[in-house]
Amino acid sequence: MISRYSLSPMKEIWTQEAQYERWLEVELALIKTYEELGIAPQNSYKNAKKNSKIDVEEILKIESEVRHDVIAFIKSVTENMNDEARYFHMGLTSSDVIDTALSLAMKQSLELIIDKLNEFIKVLKILAKKYKNTITLGRTHGIHAEPTSFGLKWLSYLSEAERNRERLEKTLEDISQGKLSGAVGNYANIDPSVEKKVLEKLSLMPCKISTQIVPRDIHAEFLYNLSLLGAGIERIALEIRHLQRSEVQEAFEPFTKGQRGSSAMPHKKNPIISERLCGMARLLRSNADAAAENIALWHERDISHSSIERIIIPDSCLIAFYMLEKVTWMVEGIDVKEDQMIEQFKRSYNLVFSQRVMLTLVSKGFSREDAYKLTQKVALECWNSKKDFKEEIKKVNDDEHYFSKNEIEDIFNPTYFLKNISKIYERFNFEDEE
């Protein structure tokens, strides 16, 4: 991931040095276990830890010669060791170290993402409560539909964010596993009890079964659930992009002091963060697809997945973390124009009340078909001639006397559409924000 979108503390997890430190953590946990079991002499772990060193440049230099990253790592790290070096990597294959350490990195990353998601959820709850009774026009197919609560939008985003949290918490459990089962996963050169003790030291659990690698459907689930998180963020960003349009102007991204919108047009205030988030969501989805391609490998393993994972797993973690940081900042400072929302009723010529007119006619004895035809005839005339629907219904009513004066006012009262909003809100827990 380019540095522009790499934020701390996530980016520190995915440095080359941090990767080698995790590899060393796995190897040292193995030596400590061997010592505890009496396989390695006393002080082997202490000496191995003391005499180990991580020199990234040296490891890479050795790798350029031996063409194997783990062998280069072992040669460099154990260079200053004595007899304890015999127990370093004993009984393991490269993937035992790589995959177990990768699980540690994924676990650390997901913990950061979940923490950031919790911050985002708090902001969504605030907005849902704040705009619970704010009337806005709902839209379907991009066209004015019926009045609704602006808070319901945020409640919908909140619900999706909470589902994403549930999925990611489950994923955190699923990825918290490693393997030390040897070259083809049959424990020929290492006992399962050793694996269990080593992984306990790393706060991981053993894979129920592995080949030479941890099964890659686990990693695919991890990346797919990150892509779902991204899609949820994209849904919010896409909404803000529409609401910020010149023709709408109902809500705007924060526009900071000194910010410029265009190099050519000084009047511009563009939804740049929202657009960026929509683009990044595409990356998460494409990475998830690549992870699914990594599931089917030759026999006990090949390395067709390896080069891809070096990119897609770190990048997806960095992207998801960045997206959460930016979307939280964006919605926390969103500039909502409630007066503009009311203005939209004029632009819709009050046509958004057409169903209320139709259903009121049905309640007075009209068939649904006749009520629909009558209402649609007036509505389309208003749309084509830009006349106010309420005024035209009044004219029809003057001739036919379908409604009382109070009924017309009630039909065209937007607060009617909020009558059951509280019942929806009761499905959510806002106790923490009381």
Catalogue the active-site residues: 141, 262
Cβ atoms < 10 Å from Cβ of 127: 20
- Element (DSSP H or E) covering residue 330: helix 306-332
Number of helices and strands in the chain (H, E): 17, 6
**Which token pair is 272?**
């740049």
Query: Measuring CA to CA, which residue among 344, 360, 353, 327 is closest to residue 413?
Result: 353
Maximum alpha-carbon separation in the chain: 104
CA quadruple 242, 243, 244, 246: dihedral sign: positive
CB 124 within 8 A of CB 157: yes
SS (H, E, C) 338-383: HHHHHHHHHHCCCHHHHHHHHHHHHHCCCCHHHHHHHHHHHHHHHH
3-state secondary structure of 149: strand
Q: Give residue for tokens 């779902």.
A: 228
Q: For residue 137, what are the β-bridge partners?
A: 147
Question: What is the C-alpha to C-alpha distance for residues 336 and 249, in angstroms, rounded to an integer?
Answer: 9
Cβ atoms < 10 Å from Cβ of 413: 12
CB 341 within 8 A of CB 250: yes
Q: Please give the backbone phi and psi of residue 206, each rounded to the nearest 5 degrees, phi first.
A: -70, 145
User: Helix, strand, coil: what percent of the chain each, to 5?
Assistant: 65, 5, 30
CB 186 within 8 A of CB 233: no
**Which token pair is 235?**
């849904």
The reply to whether omega before 192 is within 30° of 0 (cis) is no
CB 337 within 8 A of CB 249: yes
Kindly report the length of the chain: 434
Question: What is the C-alpha to C-alpha distance for residues 234 and 278, in angstroms, rounded to an integer?
Answer: 5
Dihedral of the alpha carbons of 166, 224, 334, 279, in degrees to the nearest 10: 180
**Which token pair is 151?**
């808070």
CB 78 within 8 A of CB 85: yes
